[in-house]
Structure 1
Amino acid sequence: MQHVVRPGRLGRLTREARRLTGGHATGHRRALYAGLLALVFVLAALTWNTTSGPGPGQASDPGAEQPGSGDQADYGTRDLARPPVLDGNAQRPVGDGALTANPLYDTDRLASLPCPAPELDIDDPGSVENFLNTLTDCLDDAWSAQFREAGIPYEPPRRVFWSEAGTSPCREYPSAAGAFYCRTNKSVYVGTADVVEKWNGAENSIVYASLLAHEYGHHVQGESGLLEHYHEQRRRQETTEKRNIWTRKAELQANCFAGTFLGSVALTYPVSEDDRETVLEDASSTADREDGPEEERTHGSAENGTYWLKQGMDEQTPGACNTWNLPDGDSLVQ
């Protein structure tokens, strides 16, 4: 089976409209079909305001070409069905403000949306793909609402869940990490078998949820205007050490964004205390090696990888993930 780019929800609704009208429309039936199809598009726009969408990855530069907490559920705290309230000329933030004073940081906690995890059979790529799609649906809903609140345009990422080797605009895959984000085509890539192999056959689905939410976090950075300015500034740095400071801040922020999502769905996923420990241990084990060379210090120390993931899980707000206001020498971004 080749890699899968999943069709969006709008496409599924369109097919349903065809089914209800018999597939081939003539006369009154054609008019009925047109009316239903128009209704489908209106409902889709009101409900999702998204296009079809479609870890701890060890890419040196997120999105670049080549190199719980909370005991109370609060369902319905945000009206996800309303259309985005955006200025007609709304644009993504630019410049230093996109990093340090992004409107996303001023938004509330992520809404506690129901997101029960499906059963996961790590030996069945189809089961892994279903798990990834289900979780990405939840991520789409959560972050679409967050961007709407921030007043920033948002389009969910495409999904490429591969089972065979292929090529993206950013790199070939399988990748060294089993998952990555490519900003060029705004896509999250995960290997349905490769990611299980990279994680040594881990059976607890929470580690794959965290990985997916981390790569999705890079898309959040991209849609918020942050990633573009990050790449521009990182390229200007004259040494590997200085470039790595920028990379670590981006990766640790993605860890924190992953945590905000995991914390927000903790009651419905559900994320137990054991799951929480497991995912924090995973963040520690996939961090930079303490004795590693400078060129490999791109994702932060074990202590900091854990700190930022926990910070997100506890606070569940994007504002708790602002790594960019910290001085380059701050211990929390090493």
Structure 2
Amino acid sequence: MNTLPIRKLSSLVAAAAVLALVGAGTAEATATAAPAAQKEVQQGQTQAPPRGKAAATANPLYRTGLLPRITCSPGEIRPGSAASYKAFMSRVNTCLNTSWARQFRKAGLSFSKPRLRFATSRVSSPCGRWPSGAGGYYCSSNRTIYIGVTKRVLREAFELGLAQFMAHEYAHHVQTIAGIGPNYYFPAYSRARGSAKLLLSRRFELQADCLGAAFVRSVADTLPVNPQEWDGMVQWTRENGAKTWPTNDHGKGYSQAYWLEKGFAAGGPGGCNTWTVSARRVA
């Protein structure tokens, strides 16, 4: 049986509070087209993202292999310090920009960075009101990640959980610029009803869990990732992950844990194709 030092055990207890507050994050979109802001022209030829269902089931990102091993040392968050929290999350976001820009180059897809906005209140966006139960969210209409900064989140810092949270929200940006969201998911979701709508949402959100975990694996040496803390976080998610959401649109705890583990083991987007697996795997 693996054990943790007392300090780390207390961090994992705190992680439960942090993860309950931030949740798995979510993605929001409106019917309007997202602007082509902050477009970066990559060297070499780029292709347009696939259209229709193929954008999700056969995206070029799945064939790009491992995410690059980069140095990502965002530092520590001082309990109660909004400045250190913002600095940590901003540095993780910078690492994500570096990592995913390289991955999109390998896929031959055009890359653009998301905007990052910190908020001390539940601000609205072009996508509407702040989603219930979320500590942050991504709006595809203005390609912006919104991260909540509250006293409750700052009270106990758990860097690994917060890095995964940021990576999950960033993954929704990846889904947007890769065409998965606008070319398939958002239109399909708007047409679907009832259980079919929830199933589509789970495929989308669980893929973001997986892509986020793949990134965390790629920076595990320098973030750094303590394996015991990772295992503890996955176990907490397995037992509690579904409690944040009023409906099953993000997946049961065991489904969230499965895709976290799968993404971390794969280390790249190829292990995160939630669109071709059975409904049982995205329950």
TM-score range, shorter chain: 0.7 to 0.9
The alpha-carbon deviation at position 215 of structure 1 amounts to: 0.7
Greater fraction of residues in helix: 2
Equivalent of 1:317, from 268, 272, 280? 268
Establish whether residue 64 from structure 1 lines up as the match of residue 64 from structure 2. Answer: no
The alpha-carbon deviation at position 172 of structure 1 amounts to: 3.3
The alpha-carbon deviation at position 65 of structure 1 amounts to: 3.8
Question: Is the 2:239–2:254 contact (alpha carbons within 8 Å) kept by the matching residues of 1?
Answer: no
1:305 partner amino acid: Q
Match of 1:212 in 2: 166
Question: Is the 2:137–2:146 contact (alpha carbons within 8 Å) kept by the matching residues of 1?
Answer: yes
Identity of aligned residues (%): 31
Name the SS for the 1:319 alignment partner.
helix
> Which protein has greater RCO, CA pairs closer than 8 Å, 6+ apart?
2
**1:196-235 paired onto structure 2 within 5 Å:** 196=153, 201-228=155-182, 229-235=184-190
The alpha-carbon deviation at position 262 of structure 1 amounts to: 0.5
Name the SS for the 1:325 alignment partner.
coil
Name the SS for the 2:281 alignment partner.
helix
Once the two structures are superposed, what CA deviation does each residue of 1:207-258 show, in whole Å capped at 9, x if it has no partner? 1111111111111100100001101011121x32110000000011000001
Unaligned runs of 5+ in 1: 1-54, 67-81
Mark the CA change 1:195 to 1:286 in structure 2 (over 3 Å): closer, same or farther: farther
Aligned-partner Cα distance in 2 for 1:174–1:265: 29
The alpha-carbon deviation at position 301 of structure 1 amounts to: 1.2
Aligned-partner Cα distance in 2 for 1:282–1:177: 17
**1:1-334 paired onto structure 2 within 5 Å:** 56-57=23-24, 59=26, 62-65=27-30, 83-87=42-46, 90-173=47-130, 176-193=133-150, 196=153, 201-228=155-182, 229-237=184-192, 239-285=193-239, 287-289=241-243, 296-327=247-278, 329=279, 331-334=280-283
149-158 vs 114-123, which deviates more? 114-123
Mark the CA change 1:283 to 1:316 in structure 2 (over 3 Å): closer, same or farther: same
State the Cα RMSD in Å. 2.3
2:174 partner amino acid: V
1:312 partner amino acid: G
- The total of aligned residue pairs comes to 252
Q: Rg larger in 1 or in 2?
A: 1
Question: Is the 1:178–1:195 contact (alpha carbons within 8 Å) kept by the matching residues of 2?
Answer: no
Question: Is the 1:180–1:215 contact (alpha carbons within 8 Å) kept by the matching residues of 2?
Answer: yes
Mark the CA change 1:171 to 1:285 in structure 2 (over 3 Å): closer, same or farther: farther
The alpha-carbon deviation at position 196 of structure 1 amounts to: 0.9
Name the SS for the 2:28 alignment partner.
coil
TM-score normalised by length of structure 1: 0.70
